[in-house]
Amino acid sequence: AQLVESGGGSVQAGGSLRLSCSFSGYTDSWSCVGWFRQSPDKRREGVASIDSLGRTSVADSVKGRFTISQDNAKNTLYLEMNSLKPEDTDMYYCAARARSDGYCSPNLLLTSSNWGQGTQVNVSS
């Protein structure tokens, strides 16, 4: 299976971006999909997740500003980012994993072995 992110770029603080992640290959086992971000010093933070029932969760640091959604017909995951702040500057990765008990959270995605090449988001003050 493959995950391909797009939609990153450079914006000023207060601006918006929408990230997309296209899935291909065998994805039926994935019960938790979402986004995490990674800083240049390799610090990772789970950002948002969505489970197989469509329930979403976002990190406290982005709550009220970021929204995760998916289009199953298009095998595409989205991350709508509004009111961006300079501290949101990072490389953003789409990730997916299976979990037999159905548990899903943004931080669970940090344990995934399925993630894309990333898309860079830069927010200037």
Summarised one tens digit per residue, pLDDT across range 16-70 is: 999 999 988 767 788 899 999 999 999 999 999 999 999 999 999 999 999 999 9
73: Cβ contacts below 8 Å, ≥ 6 apart = none
pLDDT tens, 79-123?
999 999 999 999 999 999 988 888 999 999 999 999 999 999 999
CB 36 within 8 Å of CB 50: no
DSSP β-ladder status, 66-71 and 76-81: antiparallel
d(CA 88, CA 85): 5
